[in-house]
Amino acid sequence: MNNQTDFYTKTMANVYAEQGYFAKASEIYRYLLKHHPESRELNDLLSGVEKKLNEKERKDREILEKLFSKWIYLQVSYNRLQKLKKFKQYL
């Protein structure tokens, strides 16, 4: 074992999962499964964490899409406003 994997335990993976660090929890469960491939419990825990990770990534994508859409709208609105200001100078 190296220093990083010294702390790769089921308890540590559970702590990461409870704190919402699903990718790190998944990494630890995968490491543990390499050493205990017969463990149904670890397999079930990994499956649950990966499901939560996928859900979190889906929600993050939705939020990012909304933010990006809003940013584009604001950028276009700002450009229109600048054009109107220039047009106003000619009146």
Q: Which domain holds residue 22?
A: 5-89
Instruction: Please say if the pLDDT value at position 49 is more than 70.
Output: yes
Number of domains in the chain: 1
pLDDT of 4 reads: 80
Rounded to an integer, what distance in angstroms lies between the CA atom of residue 40 and that of residue 33?
Answer: 9
How sure is the predictor about 2, in pLDDT bands with cuts at 50, 70 and 90?
low
Kindly state the percentage of the chain with pLDDT values over 70.
98
Residue 60 burial by Cβ neighbours in a 10 Å radius (0-12, 13-18, 19+): exposed
Tokens of 78: 């700002």
pLDDT at residue 1 greater than cutoff 60: no
Place of tokens 């919402």: 20
